[in-house]
């Protein structure tokens, strides 16, 4: 057995006999040896007995521990004559004299003063009542009273130090919040603050990542390891972790090895950990992790420790959720910018203005139900003087449909300039889509070539809602000839048909989003309403008729959502 002769700066020296297998040294009164030196950390170092030898280890102190002038980098064996320096305090290692046993007393030594009883705690627990000694030994009675008085002083000092430690932790949390640190850095700061404040051998924070329910250690500190050890494997009792996550409530176990709930657990029996305090980190009433600390020997955690640990976990939960909301907001903003760019690109794929064709009025409009859509229309002036009028509807909506729409636009444009017949042009577009798109995607397309000199329109309707041709006298024809939607069958064939447009005739091509639009009451706009609007307003200019159709659609829809893209094209012969 050894003892330490302690010389604290500007204080009286004292001697401590090491009677425990592990003795902690530091500024906190929770240590076995309390050193009132401002340069010493709260939990500074420890001396551990192993196989009759004594080992000194630094516990991650701020200013280090020195043995015979050399700073400790790892645990070192000590022996009599060694000098330990911590802060401005010196501790000399000495050999402790063996205790005198009562059974070995001889008559010559029977009147020697008996050894002072060992006091088992700072609170005075285990100290016999003064009255038990009063009649036997007044000197011992005075000694016990003095110890009790000093215990009260130590208790007050311990409470004051506890309050200061809490204030330091709260200040650390406030500084971390005000510093706008990254989430990982903030978590490490808070866990280290917990580690410094509580008498723990380890302090860890484990969180569930968004893509899995498995816990990941994001911050961890351990005595004797001054840096963050979160990147290393950490071993915890599975029984303890599952108990906290399943109940969603804090867990305090003063001694795992005697607690009925855990003492028979294999993971507990295999671990040196004795006292454990664990609290859940909760977000939206769901545990997303745990804040954990344990102690192998010596210190046992209290309910007061758990209450403060719960407060820290509450702050961590708020920070984790706020950080995720910020990340989500940034991601949403990124997507919004991408959608705005995609919408701008898609808008540029549509005709900037209708072509000026002598004897004709041509106009079109497309309104996507989302930021981008799958409806497509185009006007193409060919070198021959022929004008291409095309309108397509891609299955689906949103980004997928918009990408397919861009491919359709490029394919139609490339085929329009070839000298192939109209039906072959459409079949070439179909083959391209069939080879390059998923099997669950298809496109309906109306493709027509109008020769303004002969007023002859050659068209193919590939599965599209039949366009309406309203003659000048109000008669209605539907342009249905063509074939299946594009991209469905690889060997599909298409046929074209020709019609002549007379003065006053009106052709309207529109997507199914117009016909299937619903009112707040659930009534469909329908093709019959479209035809009737066209018949009644066939004498209007194309742009004016476009405005009438848009107003009718808007009034019919009211406050009902738009479930699909709305697109229509109008071609009217004026002379």
| Residue with tokens 């038990």, as numbered in its chain | 132
- Most confident listed range (267-281, 287-301, 451-465): 451-465
| Residue with tokens 């603050």, as numbered in its chain | 193
Give Cα 415 distance to the centre of its chain.
48
Q: Is 342 helix (H, G, I), strand (E, B) or coil?
A: helix
pLDDT value, residue 12? 80
Average pLDDT score, the chain: 81
Q: Is 340 helix (H, G, I), strand (E, B) or coil?
A: helix
Of 190, 295, 218, residue with least CA distance to 252: 295
Given a contact cutoff of 8 angstroms between Cβ atoms, the answer to whether 54 and 78 are in contact is yes
Q: Which of 86-90, 338-342, 412-416 has the lowest mean pLDDT?
A: 338-342
Given a contact cutoff of 8 angstroms between Cβ atoms, the answer to whether 513 and 567 are in contact is yes
User: How many of the other CB atoms lie within 10 Å of CB of 471?
Assistant: 15
Separation of alpha carbons 285 and 247, rounded Å: 11
pLDDT value, residue 232? 53
Confidence of residue 118 (pLDDT cuts 50, 70, 90): very low
Output 12 or 14, whichever has higher pLDDT.
14
| 152 pLDDT more than 60 | no
Output 131 or 392, whichever has higher pLDDT.
392
Complete edge-to-edge strand list for the sheet that includes strand 22-26? 33-34, 22-26, 45-50, 53-58, 76-78
Given a contact cutoff of 8 angstroms between Cβ atoms, the answer to whether 54 and 71 are in contact is no
Confidence of residue 169 (pLDDT cuts 50, 70, 90): low
Given a contact cutoff of 8 angstroms between Cβ atoms, the answer to whether 224 and 57 are in contact is yes
Please state which architecture CATH assigns to domain 160-324. 2-Layer Sandwich (3.30)
Angle of helix 138-178 versus helix 303-349 axis, rounded to 10 = 10
Output 537 or 186, whichever has higher pLDDT.
537
pLDDT value, residue 136? 45
pLDDT value, residue 103? 39
Separation of alpha carbons 484 and 496, rounded Å: 13
Confidence of residue 451 (pLDDT cuts 50, 70, 90): very high
Proportion of the chain above pLDDT 70, given as a percent: 80
| 64 pLDDT more than 70 | yes
**CA end-to-end span of the chain, whole Å?**
118
Rounded to 5°, the CA angle 551-552-556 comes to: 115
Among the four given CATH numbers 1.10.3720.10, 3.40.50.720, 3.60.20.10, 3.60.40.10, the one describing domain 350-573 = 3.60.40.10
User: How many of the other CB atoms lie within 10 Å of CB of 324?
Assistant: 14
Given a contact cutoff of 8 angstroms between Cβ atoms, the answer to whether 196 and 161 are in contact is no
Separation of alpha carbons 507 and 231, rounded Å: 70
Separation of alpha carbons 190 and 301, rounded Å: 19
Give Cα 490 distance to the centre of its chain.
45
Output 467 or 300, whichever has higher pLDDT.
467
Of 464, 396, 413, 408, residue with least CA distance to 432: 408
210-234 residues labelled b (16+ CB within 10 A) or e (exposed): eeeeebebbbbbbbeeeebbbeeee
Separation of alpha carbons 394 and 511, rounded Å: 10
Given a contact cutoff of 8 angstroms between Cβ atoms, the answer to whether 216 and 230 are in contact is no
φ/ψ (deg, to 5) at 4:
-115, 130
Give whole-number Cα distances, 382 to 101, 428, 462, 544, in Å.
Answer: 117, 18, 22, 27
Q: Which of 216-220, 360-364, 544-548, 551-555 has the lowest mean pLDDT?
A: 216-220
CATH placement of domain 2-95: 2.60.200.20
The pTM (predicted TM-score) of the whole model is 0.53
Residue 40 tokens, joined: 């010493």
Confidence of residue 310 (pLDDT cuts 50, 70, 90): confident
245-254 residue pLDDT tens: 888 889 888 8
Proportion of the chain above pLDDT 90, given as a percent: 37
pLDDT value, residue 482? 93
198-238 residue pLDDT tens: 778 888 998 887 656 778 888 888 876 544 554 455 677 77
Q: Which of 22-36, 88-102, 208-222, 476-490 has the lowest mean pLDDT?
A: 88-102
Q: Which residue ranges does the chain devote to CATH 3.30.450.40?
A: 160-324
3-state SS of 139-177 is HHHHHHHHHHHHHHHHHHHHHHHHHHHHHHHHHHHHHHH
Q: Which of 148-162, 179-193, 420-434 has the lowest mean pLDDT?
A: 148-162
- Residues facing residue 45 across a β-bridge: 25, 58
Give whole-number Cα distances, 96 to 81, 147, 249, 549, in Å.
Answer: 12, 22, 47, 104
Angle of helix 398-416 versus helix 422-436 axis, rounded to 10 = 140
Separation of alpha carbons 27 and 196, rounded Å: 12
Output 300 or 470, whichever has higher pLDDT.
470
Confidence of residue 266 (pLDDT cuts 50, 70, 90): low
Q: Which residue ranges does the chain devote to CATH 3.60.40.10?
A: 350-573
φ/ψ (deg, to 5) at 26:
175, -175
pLDDT value, residue 501? 96
| 460 pLDDT more than 90 | yes
Q: Which of 68-72, 97-101, 545-549 has the lowest mean pLDDT?
A: 97-101
Output 525 or 120, whichever has higher pLDDT.
525
| 428 pLDDT more than 70 | yes
pLDDT value, residue 174? 66
| Residue with tokens 């194309």, as numbered in its chain | 542
Confidence of residue 258 (pLDDT cuts 50, 70, 90): confident
pLDDT value, residue 195? 82
| Residue with tokens 């701020």, as numbered in its chain | 62
Residue 539 tokens, joined: 């004498």
pLDDT value, residue 334? 85
Q: Which of 16-30, 389-403, 410-424 has the lowest mean pLDDT?
A: 389-403
């Amino acid at each position: 057995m050894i003892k330490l002769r302690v010389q604290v700066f500007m204080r009286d020296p004292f001697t401590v006999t090491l009677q425990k297998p592990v003795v902690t040294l530091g500024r906190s009164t929770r240590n076995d040896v309390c050193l009132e030196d401002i340069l010493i950390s709260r939990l500074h170092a420890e001396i551990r007995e192993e196989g009759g030898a004594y080992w000194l280890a630094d516990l991650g102190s701020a200013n280090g521990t020195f043995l015979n002038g050399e700073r400790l980098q790892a645990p070192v064996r000590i022996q009599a004559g060694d000098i330990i320096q911590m802060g401005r305090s010196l501790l000399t290692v000495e050999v402790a004299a063996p205790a005198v046993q009562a059974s070995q007393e001889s008559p010559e030594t029977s009147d020697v003063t008996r050894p002072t009883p060992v006091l088992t705690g700072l609170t005075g627990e285990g100290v016999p009542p003064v009255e038990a000694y009063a009649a036997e030994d007044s000197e011992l009675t005075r000694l016990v009273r003095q110890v009790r008085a000093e215990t009260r002083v130590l208790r007050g000092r311990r409470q004051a130090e506890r309050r200061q430690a809490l204030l330091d932790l709260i200040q650390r949390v406030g500084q971390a919040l005000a510093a706008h640190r990254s989430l990982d850095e903030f978590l490490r700061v808070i866990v280290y603050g917990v580690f410094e404040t509580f008498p723990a051998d380890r302090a860890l924070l484990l969180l569930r990542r968004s893509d899995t329910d498995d816990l990941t250690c994001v911050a961890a500190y351990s005595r004797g390891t001054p840096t963050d050890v979160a990147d290393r494997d950490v071993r915890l009792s599975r029984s303890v972790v599952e108990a906290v996550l399943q109940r969603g409530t804090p867990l305090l176990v003063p001694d795992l090895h005697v607690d009925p709930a855990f003492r028979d657990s294999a993971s507990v029996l295999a671990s040196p950990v004795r006292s454990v305090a664990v609290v859940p980190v909760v977000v939206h009433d769901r545990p997303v992790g745990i804040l954990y600390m344990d102690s192998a020997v010596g210190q046992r955690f209290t309910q007061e420790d758990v209450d403060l640990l719960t407060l820290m976990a509450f702050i961590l939960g708020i920070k984790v959720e706020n950080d995720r909301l910020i990340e989500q907001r940034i991601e949403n903003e990124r997507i919004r910018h991408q959608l705005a760019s995609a919408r701008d690109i898609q808008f540029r794929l549509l005709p900037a203005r209708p072509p000026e064709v002598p004897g004709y009025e041509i106009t079109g409009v497309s309104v996507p139900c989302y930021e981008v859509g799958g409806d497509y229309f185009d006007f193409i002036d060919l070198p021959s003087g022929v004008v291409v009028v095309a309108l397509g509807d891609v299955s689906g909506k949103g980004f997928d449909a918009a990408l397919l729409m861009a491919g359709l636009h490029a394919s139609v444009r490339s085929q329009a300039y070839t000298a192939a017949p109209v039906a072959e042009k459409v079949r070439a577009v179909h083959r391209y889509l069939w080879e390059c798109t998923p099997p669950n995607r298809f496109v309906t397309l109306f493709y027509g070539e109008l020769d303004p000199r002969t007023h002859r329109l050659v068209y193919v309707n590939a599965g599209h809602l039949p366009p309406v041709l309203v003659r000048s006298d109000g008669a209605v024809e539907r342009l249905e000839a063509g074939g299946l939607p594009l991209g469905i069958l690889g060997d599909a064939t298409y046929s074209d048909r020709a019609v002549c447009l007379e003065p006053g005739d009106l052709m309207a091509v529109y997507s199914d989003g117009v016909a299937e639009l619903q009112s707040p009451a659930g009534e469909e706009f329908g093709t019959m309403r479209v035809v009737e609007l066209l018949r009644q307003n066939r004498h209007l200019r194309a742009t004016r008729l476009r405005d009438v159709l848009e107003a009718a659609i808007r009034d019919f829809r009211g406050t009902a959502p738009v479930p699909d893209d709305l697109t229509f094209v109008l071609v009217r012969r004026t002379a």
